[in-house]
Amino acid sequence: MTTYIAKFIAKHVLSTTKQHSIFIWRQESGEIDTQLLENKIKREAAMPFYRLENDNSREVEAEEISVTIIKTMPFSG
């Protein structure tokens, strides 16, 4: 297993706030599936972020969030 780090920007359709952040995950060495990574970032980072921003006043749906991955690389932190 290799640890990777990704720099990303997430944007919710109803918010003016963009989430600029990093995401660390582990996977077997090889090609990074960016679609799977985007979905993982939505579920594990962006959805909780926008729920917190909205004070849980409404349900946040994954389809309402877009994720742009800026850069990925192996991480030995």
Torsions phi, psi for 20 (to 5 deg): -100, 115
| Secondary structure of residue 64 in the 3-state scheme | helix
Domain count, the chain: 1
Structure tokens at 76: 């030995």
- The H-or-E segment that residue 32 falls in is none
Say how far residue 37 (Cα) sits from the centre of its chain.
7
Provide the whole-model pTM. Answer: 0.89
Q: What is the pLDDT along the chain (77 residues), one digit of tens a residue?
A: 899 999 999 999 999 999 999 999 999 878 899 999 999 999 999 999 999 998 767 789 999 999 999 999 999 97
Domain membership of residue 65 as a residue range = 2-74
| Secondary structure of residue 74 in the 3-state scheme | strand
Confirm if 8 and 70 have CB atoms less than 8 A apart.
Answer: yes
